[in-house]
Amino acid sequence: MDDPVLTARELVRDRFPTARAAFLAGSVLTDHRTPTSDLDIVVLLDGPPAPSRENLVYQGWPVELFVQTEAVWHGFADRETAQRSSPLLAMCAHGMLLVDTDGLGASLQDEARQRWAAGPPPLSDRERDHQRYVLTDLLDDLRGCADPTERVYLVAHMLQRASESVLLAGGHWLGGGKWLSRRLAAADPGMHRALSEAAPQAIAGDATLFVAVVAEVLELAGGPLWDGYAVR
């Protein structure tokens, strides 16, 4: 396939000749690039077809298009920030600015970088207690689990929850799928290694180490919480 940057620029020029700004982002720009990596492209327009999202194949490249207006961009960024996971801010903060006809692209990239550096909003006491309760309950379930199939699902769910708990405790952004792994590896390499090495052992039948690592994560979050936990 052709160079991803040149291909992305050509696509934007062909499909969106009036684009005010466009960004190329994702694994394709990093050492994590694989043969199946796609082109994640954010496009800023003044109006229709924004807002829209589209998947397509262009010159052999799988492409995900995120087409927005300036107002829609800010709305998305605000909603994602409240969820403590913002693919949009990440794409614009760390991506490559392909098109910038009037300075909007540079302005949004600067804003995205500042907001990304500031981190997500901190957990409330209620949210933190819920995190503690969930991990405590999952640990009890795993300790008592005798079904190999159920253990696979429990460990997978606990790996996600524990990883998110470490990130949130440290004031870091969340991520989904591979991005959860990458966020944790960047924020806390030791804990990332401990969780990712212990999880396969737990799935295979020996959960001793995984239980210990998740218990350590739970202590970082404030310790176990089950008896007396209430939502009112």
Residue 1's pLDDT band (cuts 50, 70, 90): low
- pLDDT (tens digit per residue) in 171-196: 999 999 999 999 999 999 999 999 99
- What's the pLDDT score for residue 37? 80
222 with 123: CB under 8 angstroms? no
| Rounded mean pLDDT, 58-67 | 95
What is the pTM for the complete model shown?
0.91
Please report, for residues 62, 115, 120, 124, 180, the alpha-carbon distance to residue 167 in angstroms, rounded to integers and kept in the order given.
31, 17, 10, 15, 9
Contact 151, 200 (CB under 8 A): no
- The β-bridge partners of 96 are 24
Q: Which helix (H) or strand (E) holds 127?
A: helix 125-143
DSSP 167-207: HHHTT-----THHHHHHHHHH-HHHHHHHHHHHHHHHHT--
Region 137-151: mean pLDDT is: 96
Q: Which two tokens stand for residue 160?
A: 């996600």
CB hemisphere CA count around 150 (13 angstroms): 8
Q: Which two tokens stand for residue 149?
A: 């199939």
Closest CA to 66 of 80, 76, 79: 76
